[in-house]
């Protein structure tokens, strides 16, 4: 294996993945998109030189951003996903038969189109589910103008550079809060705190001002290198965070899900943070 892909996200640190075959390498109207094969991780999706997801470890990210808020809420029927053009987040949300409607807002139609062709296992039929309403639009504009309410809002954004930058602003989070139904939960992708501390701190400062119950939880995802990834959590009710393992187990059993990473015990433990991450919270 001679060819390698080196990620360009961090100035002082990089991860390198072997490339056995390039499947797609082109520019959409907004981003440079690549898909290549790697012996360990399978197919790898990158946007503007940054790994977005891989067949090998995507289940960890998608399970923890969907099942944690949905099972914690306990009665989530209306879900909003901002981003997630590869379809992985929609796939996991739609595994809950109790979910009645999923609105997915993706800014780049090109990501959706080529993901259907080159990464079909990620969406696994989600784009054909009648409960999914796919909206090609800017997520920030949608959040500012929508009048709908949602039980769970999932911000499946890229890092705060390029098209994803606007999804990390105080005004965006303020608009998102107004779209939450009573007892609703907002969760966000907040990067790897060891490598991107300001990303988490900035979001948590906004959440502290907006939500009665705010914080973050973590999960370790191999290709999001540099330590565990953080997911922001915001709600105006403590009900969802206070659910215990026994109730989560009952809800998981009722949903009939066979998962690869999430368990009720992992769910609760994910909110226990290492000290260096605690210090990043306001």
The residue-averaged pLDDT of 94-119 equals 93
Q: In the CATH scheme, what architecture does the domain 4-54 have?
A: Roll (2.30)
pLDDT band at 162 (very low <50, low <70, confident <90, very high): very low
Mark out the alpha helices in the chain (DSSP H runs): 58-73, 88-94, 109-118, 120-123, 139-145, 170-178, 197-210, 239-242, 245-255, 264-269, 275-278
Measure the CA dihedral 136/235/248/64, to 10°. 40
* Per-domain residue ranges of the chain: 4-54, 58-278
Which residues, 6+ apart, have CB-to-CB distance to 254 below 8 Å? none
Please work out, in degrees rounded to the nearest 5, the angle formed at the alpha carbon of residue 32 by the alpha carbons of 17 and 107. 120
Reply yes or no on whether 242 is catalytic. Answer: no
Go through the chain and tell me how many residues it has. Answer: 282
Backbone φ and ψ for 23, nearest 5 degrees, come out as: -100, -30
3-state SS assignment for residue 146: coil
The residue-averaged pLDDT of 22-26 equals 92
| Residues forming beta bridges with residue 134, ordered by sequence position | 104
Which residues, 6+ apart, have CB-to-CB distance to 89 below 8 Å? 62, 65, 66, 81, 83, 104, 154, 156
Interatomic CA distance for residues 67 and 267, integer angstroms: 9
Identical fold between 4-54 and 58-278: no
- Sort 256 into a burial class: Cβ within 10 Å, 0-12 / 13-18 / 19+: exposed
The one catalytic residue in 48, 57, 108, 156 is 156
**What single-letter DSSP state applies at residue 266?**
H
The topology (CATH level 3) of 58-278 is: Rossmann fold (3.40.50)
Longest dimension (CA), the chain: 54
The residue-averaged pLDDT of 269-278 equals 98
Q: Give percent above pLDDT 70 in the chain.
A: 95
- Retrieve residue 130's tokens: 């009648």
- For the chain, the average pLDDT equals 92
* Tens of pLDDT, residues 129-161: 999 999 999 998 999 999 999 999 999 975 544
Backbone φ and ψ for 57, nearest 5 degrees, come out as: -125, 10
The residue-averaged pLDDT of 229-236 equals 97
């Amino acid at each position: 294996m001679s060819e390698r892909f080196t990620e360009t996200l961090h100035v002082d640190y990089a991860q390198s993945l072997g490339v056995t075959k390039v499947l797609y390498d082109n520019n959409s109207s907004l981003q440079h998109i690549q898909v290549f094969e790697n012996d360990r991780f399978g197919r790898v999706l990158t946007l503007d030189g940054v790994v977005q997801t891989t067949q090998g470890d995507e289940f960890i990210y998608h399970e923890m951003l969907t099942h944690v808020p949905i099972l914690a809420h306990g009665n989530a029927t209306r879900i909003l996903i901002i981003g997630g053009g590869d379809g992985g987040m929609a796939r996991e949300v739609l595994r809950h038969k109790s979910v009645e409607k999923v609105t997915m807002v993706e800014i780049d139609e090109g990501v959706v189109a080529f993901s259907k062709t080159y990464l079909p296992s990620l969406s696994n039929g989600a784009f054909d589910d009648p409960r999914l309403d796919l909206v090609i639009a800017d997520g920030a504009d949608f959040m500012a103008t929508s009048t709908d309410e949602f039980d769970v809002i999932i911000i499946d954004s890229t890092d705060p550079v390029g098209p994803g930058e606007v999804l990390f602003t105080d005004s965006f989070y303020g608009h998102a809060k107004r779209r939450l139904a009573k007892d609703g939960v907002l969760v966000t992708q907040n990067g790897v705190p060891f490598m991107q501390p300001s990303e988490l701190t900035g979001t948590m400062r906004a959440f502290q001002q907006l939500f009665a119950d705010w914080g973050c939880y973590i999960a370790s995802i191999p290709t999001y290198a540099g330590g565990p990834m953080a997911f922001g959590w915001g709600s105006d009710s403590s009900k969802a965070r206070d659910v215990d393992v026994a109730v989560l187990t009952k809800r998981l059993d009722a949903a009939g899900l066979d998962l690869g990473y999430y368990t009720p015990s992992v769910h609760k433990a994910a909110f226990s943070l290492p000290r260096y991450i605690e210090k990043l919270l306001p």
